[in-house]
Structure 1
């Protein structure tokens, strides 16, 4: 949501609550807050006392808190408004689906020229009661949602793919620390009521395909036993549950399915059966959705680009200036002159920004002093995170990374070939793999490394 949309939405909320539109001071408070200005700055622009601005803001936050159903303050206004907007989107979608079903029923009655049988209303109530009981969730492995920064566009995209386009298999990829899991948690919290079954699984190195499938089947079958008591109930194949029920299944850390030291997306021998599972999810007709989260994705998923297929891929990028600025404010760095430069250098990556902000805060130095010009600091905890990803690279990828890191400008494929050490076919495969790992950026036929990765690669040579 942009500034105008935020103001319009807030105005509607205030009007529905009080019967009055935002007054000039309330609008000034909202604008100042969304522009990350202090109350003192707002008071100066509005030509009034700071205490008057604080009182107006306090009343406004209280009013918005009552309507949005959560505590709203200066620090979380944007994210609270965006959560509210996305919840309206989900409710409107559900309402549209109900209207479509009602319309279908009306058309059916019209063709038969018979009104609905009122005597069935009691049975309908039983059916509705049963449906309410079939909302089952196992989110015990899902992490808690901490501070959530502006991801409205990505949330909207994923919600549309899942609820409107009924995508069966979605991969959410991005470099470590970019916020994939946080985005997925926010998504699940907002759309989980649209599914009969919701489960979150963290994939670790010991998670075999048979164990995973057995875990899902047990979850479905045990839940069904709670809703009915059939005798000698047998476990069905996994695909049958996905066909019979609307399910959302989230798999986090899917990179653990793939080999280290190989090009991206190659399954470990013990994880090979996941390939068949994902192909089955893609090809067979069902009403469920798998969301895969990780640094890498299955090769067969990456290759699918046709928008007519039930597969989608979203590569998550860094936060914008406004959202990343919220992180710097949390560390007392909001007022620095070169904050935008700092955000660009660390690509709006939440984890990277938190790491360098912690270092600056602990050293007690100024950003200009510690980060002159285009200097990149690599705190030890950030090095550890990057090392985990670089350890997964093949020797071929490491060669290409080394070549690209030495260049100050984007380098094209022709120049990379001039070194005569990497055959064309190997070079193309390595570039594709690095791109799939989100470690290299492509501009036409040229490639470059993000500043942080370049600094780390040079230091590791």
Structure 2
């Protein structure tokens, strides 16, 4: 039997017993065992701790021992496979059972029952998560997040985008079909700035209702990481940008919230099998730094919804479909912007897109303006100088051209530019090996046609 045949059999055995298929770590342990690798080598290859890999291995051998009817361990696994009598194994893989040592393992019936038991064990705590009634597009982004969480087992994922672009909708929609891959899933919003101790307490209460919650922050962190190693968990923290101080450069925490920086850093650096997903309109500085050092951390920036935006307009029963591309372009495929604008067009223009597009200057509805105002209110004076310069330029500018109008020292100027980049306000291009910069188109539209006219 080759490795793939062994993995197929193992997957049937695990599924029949637990209702879950082999995950990334279990496959790595089995492949490494068949190749004669030590636990140390296996752990190194998949960026995990040796102790955690040993624990997972013990669980695999326990399941196999039960199904084979004899003791199975890392040392004798290959020998047991070689001496086992696999009747018509290869032809049985496509059926509803696999025969192992004259015992039929009915993967469909037993597996369905075990899967139901497994699903019952998944603990879902959505907290104050919004209900997702409609969802548009984002298939590529969803596939990317799923691969990062399930196949690559990344420890820290940051989902970024300006307000209203659909971060929360994507995260919750993405998790729904893969929730059985996790032991526990927790969602919490940080919009009202809970302390790290409050968040940890909530998580620990979900993980084990019967356990006593430790009184100190250090002890809570220790207990949390124990669960993150023992179980595969997903924690989603939304509105992370609310932890940062307004009128300060991007990523500067409010007083009393600095320990979140250490928590995110620990999530990235400490070995465990779980995932923390951060949703934010502002990239934490420590995430930007950690991405340079660790391959278990990745960020995804949400941009235009693209052609999937047309379904929003279709749902609102707008007319003049030939003009829809222009409307989508004007609002940069921003989901909330298009939903609000489509409702406005329906209410005041009878659904006629061409009539709406004739308005000058272009209209931004009040709810969208309010969201953009909120983001601008967080900026420093330095950042406002830079974006006001970029807002009135039709073409992207290089660094010298931008700073020519501002007249700052380059260290100060670059500090403001880096901050705007963390806030996702900038769009970058390269031309003849020279970096060019402009504003996010929706923000530029807002600054140029709304604020400047006030």
Same fold per TM (> 0.5)? yes
Residue of structure 1 in register with 2:47 after alignment:
none
Distance change >3 Å, CA 128–CA 191, structure 1 → 2: closer
SS at match of 1:269: coil
CA–CA separation in structure 2 for the residues paired with 1:279 and 1:96: 24
Distance change >3 Å, CA 451–CA 420, structure 1 → 2: closer
Shift of 1:241: 1.2
Unaligned runs of 5+ in 1: 1-90, 226-233
Shift of 1:97: 7.3
Distance change >3 Å, CA 96–CA 200, structure 1 → 2: closer
Residue of structure 1 in register with 2:328 after alignment:
343
SS at match of 2:209: helix
* Aligned pair partner of 1:266 in 252, 265, 268: 252
SS at match of 2:321: coil
Superposition pairs of residues 383-398 of structure 1, within 5 angstroms? 383-398=369-384
Distance change >3 Å, CA 147–CA 189, structure 1 → 2: same
Unaligned runs of 5+ in 2: 1-18, 34-60, 65-73, 85-99, 213-218
* Aligned pair partner of 2:281 in 292, 295, 307: 295
SS at match of 2:428: strand
Residue of structure 2 in register with 1:111 after alignment:
79
1:201 and 2:188 aligned: yes
- Report if the CA contact (8 A) 2:420-2:426 is conserved: yes
CA–CA separation in structure 1 for the residues paired with 2:406 and 2:337: 35
Shift of 1:399: 0.8
- Report if the CA contact (8 A) 2:251-2:285 is conserved: yes
1:456 and 2:443 aligned: no
- Report if the CA contact (8 A) 1:345-1:374 is conserved: no
Distance change >3 Å, CA 224–CA 109, structure 1 → 2: farther
Residue of structure 1 in register with 2:145 after alignment:
158
- Report if the CA contact (8 A) 2:142-2:174 is conserved: yes
- Report if the CA contact (8 A) 2:268-2:294 is conserved: no
1:447 and 2:432 aligned: no
Shift of 1:337: 2.3
Residue of structure 1 in register with 2:265 after alignment:
279
- Report if the CA contact (8 A) 1:136-1:223 is conserved: no
- Report if the CA contact (8 A) 1:136-1:198 is conserved: yes
Residue of structure 2 in register with 1:331 after alignment:
316
CA–CA separation in structure 1 for the residues paired with 2:224 and 2:27: 31
Shift of 1:188: 1.4
Worse overlay, 176-185 or 302-311 = 302-311
Residue of structure 2 in register with 1:182 after alignment:
169
**Deviations along 1:49-101, whole A, 9 cap, x unmatched?**
xxxxxxxxxxxxxxxxxxxxxxxxxxxxxxxxxxxxxxxxxx99758877777
Distance change >3 Å, CA 118–CA 266, structure 1 → 2: farther
CA–CA separation in structure 2 for the residues paired with 1:406 and 1:158: 36
CA–CA separation in structure 1 for the residues paired with 2:154 and 2:29: 20
CA–CA separation in structure 2 for the residues paired with 1:264 and 1:245: 34
**Deviations along 1:268-298, whole A, 9 cap, x unmatched?**
1121111111111111101110000011121
- Report if the CA contact (8 A) 2:243-2:254 is conserved: yes
CA–CA separation in structure 1 for the residues paired with 2:24 and 2:208: 31
1:247 and 2:233 aligned: yes
Shift of 1:143: 1.5
Shift of 1:179: 0.8
Distance change >3 Å, CA 184–CA 254, structure 1 → 2: same
Residue of structure 2 in register with 1:45 after alignment:
none
SS at match of 2:137: coil
CA–CA separation in structure 2 for the residues paired with 1:324 and 1:330: 10
Residue of structure 1 in register with 2:401 after alignment:
415
SS at match of 2:150: helix
Distance change >3 Å, CA 213–CA 92, structure 1 → 2: closer
Distance change >3 Å, CA 206–CA 453, structure 1 → 2: closer
- Report if the CA contact (8 A) 1:325-1:334 is conserved: no
Distance change >3 Å, CA 342–CA 147, structure 1 → 2: same
SS at match of 1:291: strand
Shift of 1:212: 0.9
CA–CA separation in structure 2 for the residues paired with 1:92 and 1:443: 45
Residue-pair matches, total = 359
CA–CA separation in structure 1 for the residues paired with 2:319 and 2:330: 16
- Report if the CA contact (8 A) 1:376-1:451 is conserved: no
- Report if the CA contact (8 A) 2:341-2:365 is conserved: yes
CA–CA separation in structure 1 for the residues paired with 2:296 and 2:319: 43
1:314 and 2:300 aligned: yes
Residue of structure 2 in register with 1:355 after alignment:
340
Distance change >3 Å, CA 101–CA 130, structure 1 → 2: farther
1:368 and 2:368 aligned: no
- Report if the CA contact (8 A) 2:158-2:298 is conserved: yes
CA–CA separation in structure 1 for the residues paired with 2:123 and 2:295: 28
**Deviations along 1:299-322, whole A, 9 cap, x unmatched?**
01023444852111000111112x
Shift of 1:333: 1.9
SS at match of 1:292: strand
Distance change >3 Å, CA 188–CA 240, structure 1 → 2: same
Distance change >3 Å, CA 367–CA 393, structure 1 → 2: same
